[in-house]
Amino acid sequence: MAEKNLDFDQYINRYGTRSIKFDFAKEYGKPEDLIPMWVADMDFKTSSYVVDALKETMDFGVYGYSDGGKAYFEAVKGWMKKRHNWDVEESWLIKTPGIVFAIALAIRAFTNEGDGVLIQTPVYYPFSATIKQNNRKVVRNSLVLNGNHYEIDFDDFEKKIVDNKIKLFVLCSPHNPVGRVWTEDELRKIGEICLKYNVIVVSDEIHFDFVFEGKHKVFATVDERFLPISIICTSPSKTFNLAGLQVSNIFIANPELRDKFTKLLYSTGYCELSLPALVACETAYEKGEEWLEGALSYIKSNTEFLKEYLKENIPAIKPVKQEGLYLIWLDFSGLGFSDAEINKKILEEAKIWFDEGTMFGTEGSGFQRINVACQRSTLEKALKNLKKTFG
Ligand SMILES: Cc1ncc(COP(=O)(O)O)c(C=O)c1O
Distance, CA 379 to ligand 1 centroid (Å)? 23
Q: What is the predicted pLDDT for the residue at 79?
A: 98
Distance, CA 277 to ligand 1 centroid (Å)? 16
Distance CA 296, CA 294 (A): 5
CB atoms within 10 A of CB 14: 15
Distance, CA 117 to ligand 1 centroid (Å)? 18
Q: Which atom of ligand 1 is nearest to the CA of 39?
A: 14
Q: Please identify every stretch of the chain with a pLDDT value under 70, giving residue numbers as ranges.
A: none
Distance, CA 40 to ligand 1 centroid (Å)? 8
Question: Do the Cβ atoms of 383 and 372 come closer than 8 Å?
Answer: no
Nearest CA, atom 9, ligand 1: 98
pTM beyond cutoff 0.85: yes
Q: 208 CB under 6 A from ligand 1? A: no
CB atoms within 10 A of CB 113: 9
pLDDT tens digits, 57-83: 999 999 999 999 999 999 999 999 999
Q: What class is the 20-48+289-390 domain?
A: alpha beta
Q: What is the predicted pLDDT for the residue at 271?
A: 87
Distance, CA 126 to ligand 1 centroid (Å)? 8
Testing ligand 1's pocket by substitution, the residue of 39, 238, 248, 328 carrying the most ligand atoms inside 8 A of its CB is 238
Per the DSSP assignment, residues forming a β-bridge with 201 are 169, 230
Testing ligand 1's pocket by substitution, the residue of 42, 94, 95, 100 carrying the most ligand atoms inside 8 A of its CB is 100
CA-based Rg of the chain, rounded to a whole angstrom?
21
Distance, CA 99 to ligand 1 centroid (Å)? 6
The domain at 52-287 falls in which architecture?
3-Layer(aba) Sandwich (3.40)
Taking the C-alpha atoms of 63, 72, 97 and 62 in order, what is their torsion angle to the nearest 10 degrees?
0
DSSP annotation of 354: P
Q: 236 CB under 6 A from ligand 1? A: no
Distance, CA 316 to ligand 1 centroid (Å)? 30
Which residues contact residue 268 at a Cβ distance below 8 angstroms, ignoring those fewer than 6 apart?
A: none
Question: Do the Cβ atoms of 106 and 168 come closer than 8 Å?
Answer: yes
Q: What is the predicted pLDDT for the residue at 72?
A: 98
Sequence ranges of the domains in the chain: 20-48+289-390, 52-287
Q: What is the predicted pLDDT for the residue at 391?
A: 87
Characterize 15-28 residue by residue with b for buried, 16 or more Cβ atoms within 10 angstroms of its Cβ, and e for exposed.
eeeeeebbeebeee
- Alpha-helix runs per DSSP H in the chain: 20-23, 48-60, 69-84, 99-110, 126-133, 154-163, 184-196, 255-267, 275-287, 289-313, 339-344, 376-390
User: Which SS3 state, helix, strand or coil, does residue 35 take?
Assistant: strand
pLDDT tens digits, 37-64: 999 999 999 999 999 999 999 999 999 9
Distance CA 286, CA 263 (A): 30
Testing ligand 1's pocket by substitution, the residue of 39, 99, 274 carrying the most ligand atoms inside 8 A of its CB is 99
Q: 88 CB under 6 A from ligand 1? A: no
Q: 242 CB under 6 A from ligand 1? A: no
Q: What is the predicted pLDDT for the residue at 270?
A: 93
